[in-house]
Structure 1
Amino acid sequence: MTVAFGIYVGCSSCCIAVNKDGKFEVVANAAGDRVTPAIVAYHDMEVVTGLAAKQGMIRHAANTIQNVLRVVGTTEDEGQGQPCGGSGSGGMCRPNWEGGQARYSVQRGDKTVQVTADEVITHIFSLLKEIAIAHTSEPELPVVICVPAWSSENTVAVVKKAAKKATFNVQATVSQPAAAVLAYGLADDNKQNAYVVVLHCGGTTVVGSVVEIAGGLLTLKESITSSSVAGDSLTNVLVQHFAKEFYTKYKGDPLENRRSRRKLYNASENCKHVLSTMNTSQVYVESLWEGVDFSTTLSRARFDGLVAGTLTAFLQLAREAVQRSGLTEAQISKVILSGGSAKIPRLQQLVGDAFSKADLLCSLPPDEVLAAGASMEAALLLGQSTHASVASSLVPALATSIFCKILGSESNECVFSRGTPTHSRQMLSQALPTPAPANCTVVIYEAEELVEDPQEEAVLTQIDVTNLTQDSKLLRLDFHLKSDGSLHVVLQETHAKINRTFIIESGRS
């Protein structure tokens, strides 16, 4: 039994999926959660990672590090423009750059210690390794890592190095949009061309991407990233709402000190997650301000009204990516939502309305989609005798789709769609007219889309099939697109014992 893992590491959270025999399962951490905070806290005698680090942020803010992925592999000039968190990150440990590398100053006992961003992210992978080893008895942990679409080559290199330090056997990395497409198996059909929008709504960024699927090959046409609106923007809206409500009741400002602000941020974040699945959420914060407890209730309808403008900004990013790709909303056939904030029902409704002709795919939990897609890629790579881990590659492919039609019948199907890479194979069973004629003609032609009457210049070849019998029902055609661009076709009909082979030389497609 082959076991492979897929990991998604983002700025605010991480997730791991295991793939056994072609089926994936997102696995839980020790606390029973399937999504783990990407947070690391340095204490006097130990390093705490994940949920425990997040829970201790109020007491140990100065020694707690989050959003580390934003700064790994960056220089000082690049890193200074990176957001390091929302209003809930006040007092959090901030990076500084020494020797071209991001570092953090943390207090460990009586000493101030410098730790690099590379070390911090290695701790995150070490936690994920502990989750992984509970699901396999094999000594190796093969993994594909999904990285954000905005990640630089340096960032990807550091992520791979950190995973290897945590004893993962890194097979490859895959970007967010590709992982989302893989999770839903959209690349399996190599006969259909499709444009897919992937909207990732993370904690610190929103990414709108357009992916073209052609012949089983994925092409990222456009990707736009925004840090001005994200999941923490929604949380901050709730923080301001609850702070105003508290002030109205008690004439005190819970945002005036870091501790109260952090408590209110945590409660607002929890409220946001609850309202993704429930119609109302109870909010309670003990000793929020000068010993005063805060208790309130928020409905989903009220929440939708508060965050309406922010959700519209999320959607606008997807629309902008479509426009930059030179497409219209009507040309999009699928929309995939990923990221924790994509669980919000109102956002799903807005996206569905904007892309009304597309299928909205959110049957998988949005915050688990990317790890699932990475695990699918890991399983594919392990199933190959050899593989190369590369960031991108140039693959020879068809410039125009190829179709096969039997004249006089309704049989007219796509053989290879535009963008199909060489070396590819396809088998079709084409229905003959009823009753079966003694002779028929098969036309193989190229076109942008299926047509009933292909132009003469579009016809690649025309084959006359003779001596068919009354029992003849189907023609079987086996197409083999060679790496040199030639198309080899085997035509068979069992009742008439027809078996013919012919070659269409390269040069047209």
Structure 2
Amino acid sequence: MAAIGVHFGYTCACVAIFKDGRAEVVANDAGDRVTPAVVAYRDTEQVVNKGEKPVYEMTGEMTRHVAPQDVAKLILHKMKETAQSALGADVTEAVITVPFEFAHAQKAALRAAAEAAGFRVLRLIHEPAAALLAYGIGQDCPSGKSHVLVYKLGGTSLSVTVLQVNGGMFRVLNTHTDHSIGGESFTSALAQHLAAEFKRSFKQDVSSNARAMLKLMNGADMAKHSLSTLGSANCFVDSLHDGMDFDCNISRARFELLCSSLFNKSVQPIRSLLETTGLSTSDINKVVLCGGSARIPRLQQMIKDLFADVELLSSAPPDEVIAVGAAMEAGLLVGREIGSSPESVTVEACVSDILLKEVDETGAEVFSVLLPSGTPLPARRHHILSGPGRLASLCLELYQKTTEHCGLDLVFGPLCVCVTCVCFRDGSLHVSCVEQNSGKTEAISISAAS
């Protein structure tokens, strides 16, 4: 029975089908195996707030508002059409991948968009897990622990995740996501170099000309892709400025020199993540590369230098491997429904640290980690609180670390602040919390000594 796997990334989407025991990526109607996650509206558009939620506002003959999930619905519908044209049948069962840092609300919105697009969503799985499934990691090792690092460099983000594999179970030990760097950063650096070359040759500065720079970005992007397989690439732009054509040859060595700081920025999170996790490079058994920009030879070499004796998995196209893993998971779930595949289990986990806000003796705010990132949910933790006098009630503030898309450092965002049950029992103060937004009882309960 056939099934579909979809990787819906920040910049591109990819769809794979599972049929006759194997998963493969299918091309869209333009012949491309990866589709830009872009929907164009012909009217002028801008993002505004409506009902405390962001929407796209299109102005023209009439004003209309489009929610982000409506855009996602159109992209996912395109993926569904692409898969069904390859299958030649109306197949709706699908597994959709999500970034590990996605919160519950984001996952729910993506699931709703996929269902509106006509999919029957079998499961949402995290991108690192899909990457491991694509290479069969953990499937042929019934016992024994191993560590795998999943490195994903997409168009606008970098994600590094360390997982522990034990008897077919994947456990995320730690993850790091940086939205300040991605493939577009390398393209932009190359485009700026091309603008400087044009100025040197024609004495014309096009760096402030949006139309000319867009042409250079397109040319730089094509050259960047060529340099992943060739030693040099030619960049030709027709009528770049005042009718003047621009032709420039870029060597791989020059590209690597231009982007040397970006390469260092792309690799540094690996060291930081391993240090935070308490692992060394020798503790990693495999490294999986994902994301289109992970094709860059210089980047692959720098990662190989870090893990000299570790297997670097890049045989599958990095921009397709997550979709392949999703399709394999979809095939397993469909097989389970018809009784031909064993049961598989998904355990939810904390996307990031969940912390409790306290005040010390000096009056300074102190944040204590209750649930570290990657903790399986639901979870229970005990934490001792102290205060003056006899306490009849108290108010707790729980926070969750979040990453801003502008690339800022981690900040604290409120998770829940409402205590619904406070009682003394067995010499301890037992506290239960309710999430204010949804009204659901929080999966965390805290026991505090009186």
TM range (shorter): 0.7 to 0.9
Determine the C-alpha separation between the residues in 1 that align with 2:215 and 2:62: 28
Determine the C-alpha separation between the residues in 2 that align with 1:121 and 1:97: 18
Contact 2:2–2:91 (CA<8 Å) still a contact in 1? no
CA offset at residue 380 of structure 1?
1.1
The equivalent position to 1:140 in structure 2, one of 91, 99, 112, is 91
Partner AA of 1:314 in structure 2 = S
1:252-291 mapped onto 2 (5 Å cutoff): 252-291=204-243
**Cα offsets for 1:137-166 (capped at 9, x unmatched):** 443321101112222211111111111111
Task: Give the SS at the match of 2:180.
Answer: coil
Determine the C-alpha separation between the residues in 2 that align with 1:139 and 1:37: 24
**Cα offsets for 1:379-408 (capped at 9, x unmatched):** 1111213879866179xxxxxxxxxxxxxx
Partner AA of 1:271 in structure 2 = A
Determine the C-alpha separation between the residues in 2 that align with 1:283 and 1:139: 43
The structure having more radius of gyration, on CA atoms, is 1
Contact 1:144–1:173 (CA<8 Å) still a contact in 2? yes
Task: Give the SS at the match of 2:336.
Answer: coil
Q: Does 1:324 align with 2:276?
A: yes
Aligned residue pairs total 345
The equivalent position to 1:392 in structure 2, one of 320, 332, 348, is 348
Determine the C-alpha separation between the residues in 2 that align with 1:107 and 1:257: 25
% identical aligned pairs: 38
**Cα offsets for 1:166-218 (capped at 9, x unmatched):** 11111001111111111100021122321000010011100011010011100
Deviates further, 29-38 or 377-386: 377-386
Mark the CA change 1:305 to 1:139 in structure 2 (over 3 Å): closer, same or farther. Answer: same
Contact 2:122–2:333 (CA<8 Å) still a contact in 1? yes
Partner AA of 1:148 in structure 2 = P
The equivalent position to 2:126 in structure 1, one of 150, 175, 180, is 175
CA offset at residue 21 of structure 1?
2.6
Determine the C-alpha separation between the residues in 1 that align with 2:51 and 2:347: 27
Which residue pairs with 1:14 in the alignment?
13
Which residue pairs with 2:4 in the alignment?
5
**Cα offsets for 1:202-251 (capped at 9, x unmatched):** 11100011010011100011110011221111111101111111111112
CA offset at residue 260 of structure 1?
1.3
Contact 1:4–1:143 (CA<8 Å) still a contact in 2? yes
Task: Give the SS at the match of 1:39.
Answer: coil
1:65-144 mapped onto 2 (5 Å cutoff): 94-108=46-60, 110-144=61-95
**Cα offsets for 1:229-281 (capped at 9, x unmatched):** 21111111101111111111112122212211211111111111111122211
Which residue pairs with 1:155 in the alignment?
106
Contact 1:315–1:350 (CA<8 Å) still a contact in 2? yes
Determine the C-alpha separation between the residues in 1 that align with 2:250 and 2:197: 11
Deviates further, 360-369 or 252-261: 252-261
1:28-427 mapped onto 2 (5 Å cutoff): 28-43=27-42, 62-63=44-45, 94-108=46-60, 110-188=61-139, 189-385=141-337, 392=348
Contact 1:276–1:345 (CA<8 Å) still a contact in 2? yes
Contact 2:16–2:25 (CA<8 Å) still a contact in 1? yes
CA offset at residue 36 of structure 1?
0.5
CA offset at residue 334 of structure 1?
0.2
CA offset at residue 317 of structure 1?
1.4
Task: Give the SS at the match of 2:63.
Answer: strand
Determine the C-alpha separation between the residues in 2 that align with 1:317 and 1:21: 40
Which runs of no fewer than 5 residues in structure 1 stay unpaired? Answer: 45-61, 64-93, 395-509
**Cα offsets for 1:43-78 (capped at 9, x unmatched):** 36xxxxxxxxxxxxxxxxx55xxxxxxxxxxxxxxx
Contact 1:146–1:179 (CA<8 Å) still a contact in 2? yes
Task: State the TM-score, normalizing by the size of structure 2.
Answer: 0.74
Determine the C-alpha separation between the residues in 2 that align with 1:320 and 1:16: 33
Partner AA of 1:135 in structure 2 = A
Determine the C-alpha separation between the residues in 2 that align with 1:287 and 1:389: 57
Contact 1:172–1:389 (CA<8 Å) still a contact in 2? no
Which residue pairs with 2:406 in the alignment?
none
1:353-502 mapped onto 2 (5 Å cutoff): 353-385=305-337, 392=348
Determine the C-alpha separation between the residues in 2 that align with 1:160 and 1:292: 49
Partner AA of 1:229 in structure 2 = I
Contact 1:171–1:381 (CA<8 Å) still a contact in 2? yes
Please report the RMSD computed on the Cα atoms of aligned residues, expressed in angstroms.
1.8
**Cα offsets for 1:392-436 (capped at 9, x unmatched):** 179xxxxxxxxxxxxxxxxxxxxxxxxxxxxxxxxxxxxxxxxxx
Determine the C-alpha separation between the residues in 1 that align with 2:56 and 2:349: 36
Mark the CA change 1:353 to 1:275 in structure 2 (over 3 Å): closer, same or farther. Answer: same
Contact 1:173–1:391 (CA<8 Å) still a contact in 2? no
CA offset at residue 378 of structure 1?
0.7
**Cα offsets for 1:337-382 (capped at 9, x unmatched):** 1001000111111101101121000000000010001111111111
Determine the C-alpha separation between the residues in 1 that align with 2:92 and 2:77: 12
Which runs of no fewer than 5 residues in structure 2 stay unpaired? Answer: 351-450
Which residue pairs with 1:494 in the alignment?
none
Contact 2:3–2:91 (CA<8 Å) still a contact in 1? no
Partner AA of 2:178 in structure 1 = S
Partner AA of 1:132 in structure 2 = A
Which residue pairs with 2:429 in the alignment?
none
Mark the CA change 1:238 to 1:291 in structure 2 (over 3 Å): closer, same or farther. Answer: same
**Cα offsets for 1:103-158 (capped at 9, x unmatched):** 112244x2232211111111101111110111224433211011122222111111
Task: State the TM-score, normalizing by the size of structure 1.
Answer: 0.65
Mark the CA change 1:388 to 1:169 in structure 2 (over 3 Å): closer, same or farther. Answer: farther
